[in-house]
Amino acid sequence: MESNVNVALIYGSTRKGRFCDTVARWAAEQISASGKFSLEVIDPATALWSGNEPQKIDESVSLRQRIAHADAFIVVTPEYNHGYPAPLKALIDSVGSEWHAKPVAFVSYGGVSGGLRAVEQLRQVFAELHTVTVRDGVSFSSAWEQFDPGGMLTTPESAQKSMAVMLARLHWWAVALRSARNAMPFTQAA
């Protein structure tokens, strides 16, 4: 059964001049081209943060509502100092049960490791939120060398193939978990 999935594409960086915009733009194009997802972008750079709480998120819809509305998530994250950025952690921690029983996939970038160390840490965090992390992902090592000045991949075939596999898995998990949540709401043991 084919079904459209609401996917939230979450930016992992808030640094000025961030490369995340380039990688996330590519990911958004791939998601849209698949035809199986309705895309919403969640960018922590558009919010003011104080501790773990967002001070200002899109005035029309709160972060909690946006996470609750999503059937699945794709996190685009860099690796900073062998980990993921603090604003991403703040965004994740500011919401609770809205993450439960939903799949999360990763597009990472960085130097030699391509952001994979950040992804492995994020898998631990998302496990605590009762999500299912998708094994397949996309990783850009030496990302700055893989994209031209216009934000296009110089050799896109491998990344597009990895993205197609990841999106297929994410879609499967999103539909399966949405059906399960509709049949029986997810609850934590008391």
pLDDT (0 to 100) of residue 52? 45
For residue 183, what is the enclosing H or E element? helix 157-183
For residue 55, pLDDT beyond 60:
no
Residue 185's pLDDT band, with cuts at 50, 70 and 90, is: confident
Contact 12, 75 (CB under 8 A): yes
Pairing of strands 48-50, 53-56: antiparallel
Cβ-in-10-Å burial (0-12, 13-18, 19+) of 154 comes to exposed
For residue 118, pLDDT beyond 60:
yes
Q: Which of 97, 116, 130, 90 is nearest to 10 (CA)?
A: 90
Q: Which of 44, 45, 49 is nearest to 16 (CA)?
A: 45
* φ, ψ at 94 (rounded to 5°): -80, -5
Contact 139, 109 (CB under 8 A): yes
Q: In terms of CATH architecture, what is 5-183?
A: 3-Layer(aba) Sandwich (3.40)
For residue 135, pLDDT beyond 60:
yes
